[in-house]
């Protein structure tokens, strides 16, 4: 392990983004279309054909942000390459984007493996278009608007101020309702506003934040519960006994509490003073403090994945993204409040991640560790993980620092 750096330094954050990008560069881009989505610890690609919507969109984000930060034309070209694949291979004739496809690069044929329409996926399609547009890809402008309209037409529930979660390929909406899709839709709406300055996007971000962190949290003990019934009543039992669904885990999710902390603070900076609710900062602080109190492992360090309504840890594994989102939240909260305890949490989370999750040899972060910090597999980045969370955290802190 390398020497402990100054985790608050812009120079460190910029260097860490470069170090993480270097793991993917030269191996993630598939010249036949899009990106490869499955990487071993050393960077070996172990599945060259399966393409997941979440990775396809997050790689666009990664390269668009890298181009904006460093100005290398190769990053802009990679973002354009990824956007083209998203809008041809993933896009479906009945509208929407396939959740998972098999890509035959030689024949240039995409075969749908899972055609389910997920609002979570569309949120990332919106995010990818927004960041592509901010990276100078003007062709993303129409796609951004079209994605918003698609979400509006197929998933928006005005009576609840939230999006439904999933639909069949022919748009039959299912009964499940989840906060995760709405949280990432809020993130995407903020990015869409950054890209266009159209008020509807910021309005929608505020509506989503209010509905989840005020009304729905009020129904779930003052914290963000993941799962709900079709009428948006709390479903306390969904996936209680299933730890295999990484997008819909049971319990209060430590990382989602801190992710909402970050989003609420970012929303506060975006809203004009006369439209800024007085609950943004107190709610952000409550979520963060609870996540640290309930989630920190005092024996082995790091934040656990989730805890139940009784406060008892229900999943003690250490996920990379939970630490990344939480250290970003800690920094933004420290910058907002001046509280040195928030900086202490930022440094503590970074020190833990630096010691256990950052791969100092090959680059990027290991995906998941056992409660006592052992690696579970040699699959560093299976589909879904592109280190969007880890580099995104660095970008978020850099913006907070004004760097």
141-168: per-residue pLDDT in tens? 999 999 999 999 999 999 999 999 999 9
Look at residue 178 and tell me whether its pLDDT is greater than 90: yes
pTM over 0.95? The answer is: yes
**Is residue 82 situated within a structural domain?**
yes
Active site residues: 256, 389
Residue 121 lies in a domain: yes
Q: What is the pLDDT of residue 236?
A: 97
pLDDT at 74: 98
Residue range 321-334: mean pLDDT, rounded = 98
Asked whether residue 1 is assigned to any structural domain, the reply reads no
- In tens, the pLDDT along 257-288 reads 999 999 999 999 999 999 999 999 999 999 99
pLDDT at residue 98, as a whole number: 98
Residue 4 maps to a domain: no
Q: What is the mean pLDDT of residues 318-335?
A: 98
CATH number of the domain where residue 389 is located: 1.50.10.10
Range of the domain at 34: 10-401
pLDDT at 93 over 60: yes
* 5 within some domain: no
Q: Give the burial string for 150-188 (b: 16+ CB within 10 Å, else e).
A: bbeebbbeeebbbbbbbbebeeebeebbbbbbbbbbbbb
Per-residue model confidence (pLDDT) at position 2? 64
pLDDT for 119 equals 98
Q: How confident is the model at residue 242 (pLDDT cuts 50, 70, 90)?
A: confident
Q: Give the residue among 353, 309, 364 at the shortest CA–CA distance from 330.
A: 353
Question: Would residue 122 count as lying in a domain?
Answer: yes
| Predicted pLDDT at 192 | 99
- What pLDDT digit, counting tens, does each position of 294-308 carry? 999 999 999 999 999
Long-range contacts of 55-58 (CB under 8 A, 24+ apart): 55/383, 55/384, 55/385, 55/386, 56/82, 56/85, 56/86, 56/90, 56/128, 57/86, 57/121, 57/124, 57/125, 57/127, 57/128, 58/124, 58/128, 58/386, 58/388
Is 90 among the domain residues? Answer: yes
Give residue 3's pLDDT. Answer: 77
β strands within 287-326, DSSP E: 306-307, 313-315, 318-319
Radius of gyration (C-alpha) of the chain in whole angstroms? 20
Write the pLDDT tens digit of every residue in 351-382: 999 999 999 999 999 999 999 999 999 999 99
CB within 8 Å of 141: residues ≥ 6 apart = 129, 133, 196
Examine the pLDDT at 243 and tell me if it is beyond 80: no
Q: Residue 245's pLDDT band (boundaries 50, 70, 90)? A: confident
Our count of domains for the chain comes to 1
Q: Encode pLDDT of 61-89 as tens digits.
A: 999 999 999 999 999 999 999 999 999 99
Cβ count near 94 (within 10 Å): 9
Residue for token pair 């509490």: 257
Residue 4 banded pLDDT, cuts 50, 70, 90: confident
In a domain, 3, yes or no: no
Which pLDDT belongs to residue 195? 98
Mean pLDDT of the chain: 97
* 323 closest CA partner among 237, 254, 272: 254
Per residue in 108-138, pLDDT tens?
999 999 999 999 999 999 999 999 999 999 9
Average pLDDT, integer, range 334-356: 98
Q: Tell me the percentage of the chain whose pLDDT exceeds 90.
A: 97
pLDDT of residue 247: 76
């Amino acid at each position: 392990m390398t020497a402990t750096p100054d985790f608050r330094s812009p120079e460190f954050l910029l260097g860490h983004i470069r170090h993480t990008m270097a793991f993917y560069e030269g191996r993630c881009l598939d010249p036949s279309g899009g990106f490869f989505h499955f990487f071993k610890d050393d960077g070996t690609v172990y599945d060259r054909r399966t393409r997941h919507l979440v990775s396809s969109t997050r790689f666009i984000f990664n390269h668009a942000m890298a181009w904006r930060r460093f100005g290398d034309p190769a990053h802009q070209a990679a973002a354009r390459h990824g956007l083209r694949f998203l809008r041809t291979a993933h896009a479906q004739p009945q509208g929407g984007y396939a959740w998972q496809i098999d890509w035959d690069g030689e024949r240039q044929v995409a075969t749908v493996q899972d055609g389910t329409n997920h609002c979570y996926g569309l949120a990332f399609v919106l995010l990818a278009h927004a960041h592509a547009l901010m990276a100078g890809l003007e062709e993303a402008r129409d796609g951004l608007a079209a994605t918003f309209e698609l979400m509006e037409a197929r998933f928006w529930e005005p009576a609840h101020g939230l999006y439904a979660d999933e639909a069949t390929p022919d748009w039959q909406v299912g009964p499940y309702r989840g906060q995760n899709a709405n949280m990432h839709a809020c993130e995407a709406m903020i990015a869409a506003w950054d890209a266009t300055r159209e008020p509807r996007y910021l309005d929608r971000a505020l509506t989503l934040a209010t509905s989840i962190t005020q009304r729905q949290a009020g129904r779930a003990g003052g914290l963000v519960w993941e799962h709900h019934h079709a009428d948006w009543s709390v479903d306390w039992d969904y996936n209680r006994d299933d730890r295999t669904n990484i997008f819909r885990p049971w319990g209060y999710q430590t990382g989602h509490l801190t992710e909402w902390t970050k989003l609420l603070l970012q929303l506060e900076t975006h809203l004009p003073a006369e439209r800024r609710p007085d609950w943004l900062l107190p709610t952000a602080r409550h979520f963060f403090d609870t996540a640290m109190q309930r989630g920190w492992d005092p024996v082995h360090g790091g934040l656990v994945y989730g805890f139940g309504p009784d406060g008892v840890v229900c999943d003690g594994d250490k996920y990379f993204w939970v630490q990344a989102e939480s250290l970003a939240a800690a920094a933004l909260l420290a910058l907002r409040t001046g509280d040195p305890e928030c900086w202490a949490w930022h440094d503590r989370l970074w020190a833990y991640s630096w010691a256990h999750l950052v791969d100092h040899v090959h680059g990027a972060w290991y995906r998941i560790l056992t409660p006592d910090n052992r690696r579970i597999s040699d699959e560093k980045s299976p589909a879904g993980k592109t280190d969007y969370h880890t580099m995104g955290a660095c970008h978020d802190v850099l913006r907070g620092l004004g760097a």
